[in-house]
Chain A
């Protein structure tokens, strides 16, 4: 059914201004590879000249930007207008729209931004940490079935017991003072100067679904980052990360949880693996 092809080409003209201009300039050449009826070719050639297509492009892009701005507002601010525009243009060219849903589109864009940083295409002192913060908020907000924090009585702690950072928690390390950086970004501004240092922000989702954000000590921050992967208490003790007494305290406080010791690494859902 060539209506399928027609719709694809029409959507492409809306999503890709470059393609629309190509159809405008030489429809026969631009459409040669598509299986279209002569009526459809003529229609598309005419539509390419319709000024309303630009409005379609604007709406399409506004919608996609809206998804980022809604879920990654601080990241978008931290990028700055010029850099954000550059990245959006590249993102739009390489990432066709796959979803109407904000969390998924934001996660895709976040992956793109992370890749830009890893590839050395983006240098920005604040974006990496802010992006992790906002992704952590998205993950926690969309997660379900998070077990109760705090632990029932544990009769004994054994060194072969494994612990991990509680799934209701996310820890993000900041190289710049988040107490100055984040309020400024919340207000839509990039701060002029932010003191450097080692800071840790804890995101915690309580059982009533509320999100809590606060700064934690470097000591606790390092422990929780290390325990993003399940670790045995023996390992933690051997590497001077955590004593068993401190581990028990962190379990009772809801920062860590005990994992069923298994040689299989995370083969089932988090809920099934957790003991407490």
Chain B
């Protein structure tokens, strides 16, 4: 049975006062027309800010290059809907580097677009190669749920929150291989990180479902161990089976069990400010606007039952 762990008021205050935005859409380029013609189906837009700039590399002058078209689009968008930022570029779990320039860029965009909160992934994807060049694995690699990693992340999350004046929210990772003999469970790691820093959690229910499918655990049991008062945002989406693995492919409608998890979470998580449906741009043409609308409508029905 899911429950909310009691936390002291001063820890949850920043999260508890966030505006309850409702149902959001994760923006991808192929969704431009949908955003214009179906704005009534969502309350806010989650952008991946990294998709709007060309990053020429750490230390470069004018590192982040943004096209005029991108600025125009976002300027128009934020006059119609609230925008929140869900970045992929921080790589907060990278042990050898911490990209303070990226944090500064997000801070600048928060000032420009007034995100009420922003998020990134609890994982790593960036390292330096032998010659010192930045290297990117291209997907979210798992970090060990150990005391050493926790200490490192607490320091970094505190830095982010001191630099960007709105709540920072971290997403639970999807992982296709697991690290054995870790100091603590994923749930304990998330709870302790959030408690120590007051950051929020972006609970990606499709990630939980995917991990449960691949690593054979009970997603309900996992969620029962999460401090749900820390959950600010929820992601939902769909996947597919490839080579006997269930993939978090953002490929279409969410599985029924993910919807069931959503309903249970919303009934027990008092500080959820938004639900976001994710579909990759390459899959949207196959999904189509009616199916996407259906997913957003389904999320709204659940939202309105509990908010």
Residues of A within 8 A of B (CB): 1, 3-4, 6-8, 10-11, 14-15, 39, 42-43, 46-47, 50-56, 58-60, 63-64, 96-101, 103-104, 142, 144, 209
Contacts and interface: CB of A to CB of B under 8 A. Distances in A.
Interface stretch (B13-21, B137-145, B229-237, B299-307): B137-145
Contact of A3 (B69, B135, B144): B144
Nearest to B55: A101
A1 B95 contact: yes
A54 B245 CA distance: 10
Interface of B: 50, 54-57, 65, 67-69, 88-89, 94-96, 124-125, 127, 129, 133-139, 141, 144, 148-149, 152, 175-181, 214, 242-245, 247
A63 B179 contact: no
Contact of A144 (B65, B135, B242): B65
B94 to A, nearest CB: 7
B141 A52 contact: no
18 contacts: A3-B144, A3-B148, A7-B124, A11-B127, A14-B141, A42-B181, A54-B243, A55-B176, A55-B247, A59-B139, A59-B176, A64-B138, A98-B129, A98-B136, A99-B134, A100-B88, A101-B55, A144-B68
Contacts of B139: 56, 59-60, 63
Contact of A47 (B95, B133, B179): B179
Given A3-B144, A4-B96, A209-B68, A47 B177 contact: yes
B177 A50 contact: yes
Nearest to B182: A43
B69 A209 contact: yes
A143 B245 CA distance: 41
A46 B180 CA distance: 7
Contact of B133 (A51, A98, A101): A98
B137 A15 contact: yes
Given A43-B144, A51-B177, A97-B137, 11 more contacts: A3-B144, A4-B95, A50-B178, A52-B177, A55-B247, A96-B129, A100-B50, A101-B54, A144-B65, A144-B68, A209-B69
A88 B54 CA distance: 24
Contacts of B175: 52
A55 B133 contact: no
A59 B138 contact: yes
Nearest to B247: A55
B63 to A, nearest CB: 12
A196 to B, nearest CB: 36
Contacts of B69: 209
Contact of B177 (A15, A56, A64): A56
A111 B64 CA distance: 23
Contact of A60 (B54, B137, B247): B137
B105 to A, nearest CB: 14
B154 to A, nearest CB: 14
A46 B89 CA distance: 29
Contact of A55 (B127, B134, B242): B242
A59 B250 CA distance: 13
Q: List the 7 closest pairs (A to B, CB-CB), nearest first.
A: A52-B177, A52-B176, A63-B138, A50-B177, A55-B176, A3-B95, A4-B96
Nearest to B134: A98
A4 B130 CA distance: 13
Contact of B242 (A1, A56, A58): A58
Contacts of A3: 95, 144, 148-149, 152
A98 B65 contact: no
B55 A58 contact: no
B191 to A, nearest CB: 21
A99 B50 CA distance: 12
Nearest to B146: A3
B243 A39 contact: no
A97 B144 CA distance: 23
Nearest to B215: A52
B135 A7 contact: no
Contact of A52 (B96, B136, B178): B178
Given A14-B141, A50-B178, A55 B65 contact: no
B136 A100 contact: yes
Contacts of B180: 42-43, 46-47
A52 B175 CA distance: 8
Contacts of A39: 181
Contact of B181 (A43, A51, A104): A43
Nearest to B149: A3
Nearest to B152: A3
Contacts of A55: 176-177, 242-243, 245, 247
B160 to A, nearest CB: 19
A31 to B, nearest CB: 15
A100 B214 CA distance: 26
A40 to B, nearest CB: 9
Contacts of A47: 177-180
Contacts of A96: 129, 135
A54 B141 CA distance: 13
B138 A100 contact: yes
B66 to A, nearest CB: 10
A23 to B, nearest CB: 13
A144 B243 CA distance: 44
Contacts of A209: 67-69
A97 B135 contact: yes
